[in-house]
Amino acid sequence: MSVLRAALEDYLRLRRSPGGHQMAEAAWQLPDFVDFLEDRGQRTVTIQATLAWIQHRQGKQVTTMAPRRMTAVRGFARYLSGIDPDTEVPPLGLLPHRQRWRQPFIYSDADIAAVLTAATAMDTRLRAATYHTLIGLLAASGMRIGEAINLDRDDIDWTEGVLRIRPHDPRDRATRPLSTDRHSPRVPQHPVTMPKPAPLTTATATCSGTMFGIVPESA
């Protein structure tokens, strides 16, 4: 057993001991890192070798694993530096920050109009009216889709131009102003017979997939 691998086993044993930090990531990543170093005749951790290993494992695909691999190596290198003075501890900020979430797409007035038009072409009048109203409501109010689905007719005040949001906790109510621009939804008076209080739309929690299907059709 190499000195490097023996040090890794000691490090993982220390991490597993009572009071040791959570080590699942280290136990998963570091044996592969040591294999990589040994295959190249490396006897200690260096910054260059660490970057080469991360690039080797990641390839051309951009993922969120690179920072996690770097964190695992950094912890091992800090431990190893107390044993081997030649150890190089990768500094923080060595890898560029990667945005994890997609940049949001901001719909223009023309985009919103196109989506509303596509909604009116749905297979039934009820579905067309439902999604036209729902999309217009989202555009006019900026509310979350779940909030819009949960609205009842009594929650909208056309006179004051506000919506009453009903969260999971009934004690925590909020109001939101309703835009008066041309994208404001027009709620049909009696599209179908419904119990009182009737929902503002007939959309359900499964409507997100339908809405995402409407968007490509409007392109």
pLDDT tens string, the chain, 219 residues long: the values are 788 999 999 999 887 766 555 567 888 899 999 999 999 998 899 999 999 999 998 876 656 788 889 999 999 999 999 999 999 999 988 886 665 666 778 888 899 899 999 988 888 888 888 888 888 888 887 778 888 888 887 887 778 777 777 665 555 455 555 554 544 444 444 444 444 444 555 554 445 455 555 555 555
Q: What does the pLDDT read at residue 34?
A: 95
What are 98's two structure tokens? Answer: 């990667």
Q: How far is CA 77 from CA 7, 25, 46, 86, in A?
A: 10, 15, 9, 10
Q: What does the pLDDT read at residue 21?
A: 53
Task: Give SS3 for 147.
Answer: helix
Q: What does the pLDDT read at residue 219?
A: 52
Q: What does the pLDDT read at residue 163?
A: 76
Residue in 108, 46, 36 with CA at minimum distance from that of residue 74: 46
Domain boundaries, the chain: 3-81, 109-218
Q: What does the pLDDT read at residue 160?
A: 78
Q: What does the pLDDT read at residue 155?
A: 80
Q: What does the pLDDT read at residue 54?
A: 92
**CA torsion angle 38 41 46 52 (round to 10):** -80
